[in-house]
Amino acid sequence: MTITPENRESAENSESAEPHQNTRPVHPTETSDHPTEAQADSAVAESSQATPTPGTENKTEGAEAPAPLPVDYAEGTTTDEPSNYDAILLASFGGPEGQDDVIPFLRNVTTGRGIPDERLEEVATHYRANGGISPINQQNRDLKGALEAEVAARQLNIPIYWGNRNWNPFFTETFREMHAAGHRRILALVTSAYNGYSSCGQYREDFSLTLDETGLREEMSVVKVRQFFMDKAFIDPFKDALAAGIADVRAQLEQAGKPDAQPKIVFVTHSIPSRNAEAMGPDRVIEEYGTDVYSAEHLAVARHLMASVPEAAGLEHSLTFQSRSGSPKTPWLEPDINDAITEDAEAGVAGVVVMPIGFVSDHMEVLWDLDTEAKDTAAELGLAYHRAATPGIQEKFVSGLVDVLSEYLKGVNGEPVGFGEQVVPGQWSGICGPCNCTRFRKDVARS
């Protein structure tokens, strides 16, 4: 996953859609993470935590194919050996921090598409309602501080920087800052747990483009840390959250005079256009799970959580999606969480525990789509409702992320100073390669 001074080719963002009206208000997505890093078919996808995928339905026949991927990406190489990195980059999507930032931020997200400000204002609803502030930047500041404390406690002696794709601090600014401080070998941690173009491949392209834009390609190299959805770091906080959510809904049901009723566990992640999901590989995962790789990764996490949390034994569960946007004519992954909750109520379910496994922190999608819309849907149907906590800066998450980072850091004996622990069964290694995003980009070129 290395972008080095030897790589000469850069790539450009293949997003091309513009905002569309939809039955639900459209808003940028922050999948830090989802990414997850991430995945709105509108041109305003905030990826962070979380893994949104760029839209493609506005590609016209005969449109120019996407630029080549960076050399290392096209070859699908990975870096398994630890190295002497001298700085860590916490990479994310960025978000506005005041009303005056909202439209400039959305202009950055939709650069090159000529979308007028009045159209951008249509998708600014949730930012406007929140004072023009996205929670994602402060959450990344908090995560950076927590990571710095854990790194210092382990005496790893490596600084951590923070940079964004679409708002301050921009990657160009952060790369120049790291270079001025004498750093040349950068280890990049993206705030998105799952695989996908916007949560993985596009960041690698961002880093390559930034090396070109800053003129630092001959002097700096960047290695992107692997995805971590299958790791103890990501899973353990959700295990605690699931147990707490089940206890809370059971208490709500008992208070409502339904002591024998049991909650249903509703796992949720960001939806993406169906054809984007279908373009992801590798085939071995598709064959094993009978669905696209994006859904398979989330299903694997959901099944592991249900099997490993004693309180969840015997309970029903489902995987749902949220935050779809774009043209109503474009198929997206379903069911929508609000539709699923409605069907659950009609089937006699009395309460739901909503598990936002697509997200690493409580950013705008979580606060609006789950804490407002889905919660209101449940209330209208008379269902007990609990939205489980995201990992955020919980100690287990932070410590586990440093374990993952430590896979890449060389100790005095040349061996890695630590190692993340995979707990979700499956052959997930090698997914972030040509069979994933290269397939996706070919699909874009054909559309």
Q: Give the integer Cα–Cα distance in Å for 294 and 286.
A: 9
As beta bridge partners, residue 163 has 91
* Structure tokens, 5: 């001074």
**428 torsion bin: left (phi>0), alpha (psi -120 to 50), beta (else):** alpha
297 is in an annotated binding site: no
192 is in an annotated binding site: no
20 is in an annotated binding site: no
Residue 379: count of CB within 10 angstroms of its CB:
11
Contact 340, 320 (CB under 8 A): yes
183 is in an annotated binding site: no
Contact 253, 237 (CB under 8 A): no
Contact 37, 49 (CB under 8 A): yes
Residue 12: count of CB within 10 angstroms of its CB:
11
**In 26-64, which positions are buried (b, 16+ CB within 10 angstroms) versus exposed (e)?**
bbbbbbbbbbbbbbbbbbbbbbbbbbbbbbbbbbeeeee
Contact 143, 399 (CB under 8 A): no
Residue 354: count of CB within 10 angstroms of its CB:
27
Helix (H/G/I), strand (E/B), else coil: 321: strand
For the annotated binding site for Fe-coproporphyrin III, the residues are: 134, 203
- Residues making up the annotated binding site are 134, 203, 270, 365
Positions at the binding site for Fe(2+): 270, 365
